[in-house]
Amino acid sequence: MGSLKTEGRHREERPRTHAGVQRRPLEQDTRRDPKLLAAIRRVAPGTDLRQGIDDIIRARSGALIVIGEPSELEFMFSGGMRLDLDFSPQLLYELAKMDGAIIVDTEMRSLAYANVQLMPDPAIPSDETGTRHRTAERVAKQTGALVISISQQRETVTLFMGQIRYQLESIADVLAKTNQAVATVETYRQRLEQVLMRLTALEFQNAVMLDDVLVVLQRAELTTRMAVEVERDCLELGSEGRLIRIRLEELMADVPREKAAVIFDYQAENGEPSIEETLERLGALSYQQLLESEELAEVLGYPRSVNPLDYAVTPRGLRVLSQIPRLPENVARRVVGNLEGLEAILRASGRELEAVEGVGQARAREIREGLRRLQEHNLVDRYLQA
């Protein structure tokens, strides 16, 4: 990996576009609409509803299932049978053998009606071609209820909710895509670890440029966004994604803390917003903006006119202190607050550290020994050689 400085060294190559990475702010993605996510949780593998749906598909049958308050939907349907029976996958499968729609209460506790004829407003526009899907779309738009349409011919499951239409992918396809995304997260995590270790080495040398910080922040955000992709797909996998979720948690365990610590250490001192607000601003950047140094520098409170390659910055020291085992974060923050910057912390005597509230003699010794071990970890020789 190339170095980040000028003067005989090359600037690190910025990450290239990856198909799984978000190219726009996450909240604008329809796939992450909260109502849609709630609906997907209801039909994810491992739920009773999904078991019933799978049984219907295996029987090469179709169905139209409306989930909502029966009393609020009665104006729209006629005929059928009133049941008020406890919900079960087996009963749902049996009722789907009838021609009409099935009404399930919002809490998924009872099967209220079966074999009903739905009559939504025909003036509501629909792009669907099949009768079942067209009815489902109009019912969803008119009532806001969750409507599940199971196609008999194509063996697909489509969710309608308000203006949202979402067709579930096969579990095999989602698993393949998610495993590939996890591999990408692993690669991103390795690269993030490399630039973090490099940043630590530069901090001990008091040789950090703003560009070094921006690369770390960029890679941390890219890793986070890729992990969000995996989390979203794990939601659709339900119980089938259990092992993937465990692996993702391992990969992302320290990333949020590292990202927040970098912001704490390097945010410009100009009446800056809170770390949480800065994280929100970072998350709101589009993928293209995330590749621009000027955009990232502005998020940290630096003017766009600054050249990150030539602008020296000094760490406050929280990120390095957080690498010392058993040192509570509140104590580390007090050390940072009492001593001006990492260099001052490294020079501090035992008595100066002991004077900080919550440190004491034993913890002061642990801090000094921990910093010494980090310095002797061969980071400089390993990551700064030409």
Identity (one letter) of the amino acid at 135?
Answer: T
Are residue 257 and residue 363 in the same domain, yes or no? no
**Domain range holding 108?**
44-168
| Least confident piece of the model among 18-32, 179-193, 248-262, 304-318 | 18-32
| Least confident piece of the model among 8-12, 86-90, 166-170, 332-336 | 8-12
pLDDT score recorded for residue 381: 53
Are residue 266 and residue 301 in the same domain, yes or no? yes
Are residue 89 and residue 215 in the same domain, yes or no? no
Determine the length of the chain.
386
Let me know if residue 131 belongs to a domain: yes
Q: Which of 384, 306, 307 is nearest to 8 (CA)?
A: 384
- Dihedral Cα 274, 276, 278, 279, nearest 10 deg: 160
Apex 202 CA angle, 196 and 207, nearest 5: 140
Tens of pLDDT, residue by residue over 95-131, are 999 989 999 999 999 999 999 999 999 999 999 988 9
Are residue 251 and residue 279 in the same domain, yes or no? yes
From the CB of residue 246, how many other CB atoms can be counted at a distance below 10 Å? 10
Domain boundary among 168, 198, 224: 168
**Contact (CB, 8 A) for 176 and 161:** no
Name the pLDDT band for 153 (thresholds 50, 70, 90): confident
Are residue 190 and residue 104 in the same domain, yes or no? no
Let me know if residue 38 belongs to a domain: no
Are residue 10 and residue 144 in the same domain, yes or no? no
- 3: pLDDT strictly greater than 60: no
**Contact (CB, 8 A) for 208 and 310:** no
pLDDT score recorded for residue 27: 39
Q: Cα Rg for the chain, rounded, in angstroms?
A: 28
Are residue 12 and residue 56 in the same domain, yes or no? no
Are residue 160 and residue 218 in the same domain, yes or no? no
In whole angstroms, give the CA distance from residue 359 to residue 353.
7
In whole angstroms, give the CA distance from residue 330 to residue 314.
21
Let me know if residue 31 belongs to a domain: no
**Contact (CB, 8 A) for 42 and 89:** no
- 70: pLDDT strictly greater than 80: yes
- 357: pLDDT strictly greater than 60: yes
Q: Which pair of structure tokens corresponds to residue 88?
A: 């079960």
Identity (one letter) of the amino acid at 168?
Answer: L
- 14: pLDDT strictly greater than 60: no
Q: Which pair of structure tokens corresponds to residue 233?
A: 């797909």
Domain boundary among 314, 329, 359: 314
Can you list the positions of beta strands (E) in 33-170?
63-67, 77-78, 81-86, 101-104, 110-118, 146-150, 157-161, 164-167
Let me know if residue 338 belongs to a domain: yes
Q: Please, what is the average pLDDT of the chain? A: 88
Q: Which pair of structure tokens corresponds to residue 185?
A: 């997260």
- 4: pLDDT strictly greater than 70: no
Let me know if residue 87 belongs to a domain: yes
Tens of pLDDT, residue by residue over 179-207, are 999 999 999 999 999 999 899 989 998 89
Domain boundary among 278, 293, 314: 314
Q: What one-character-per-residue DSSP string does 225-242 give?
A: HHHHHHHHHHHHHGGGGH
Pairing between strand 81-86 and 110-118? antiparallel
**Contact (CB, 8 A) for 293 and 308:** yes
Let me know if residue 367 belongs to a domain: yes
Are residue 290 and residue 258 in the same domain, yes or no? yes
In whole angstroms, give the CA distance from residue 176 to residue 202.
40
Are residue 325 and residue 302 in the same domain, yes or no? no
pLDDT score recorded for residue 273: 80
**How many domains does the chain contain in total?**
3
Are residue 370 and residue 306 in the same domain, yes or no? no
Are residue 52 and residue 157 in the same domain, yes or no? yes
CATH assignment at residue 49? 3.40.1700.10
CATH assignment at residue 258? 1.20.1260.110
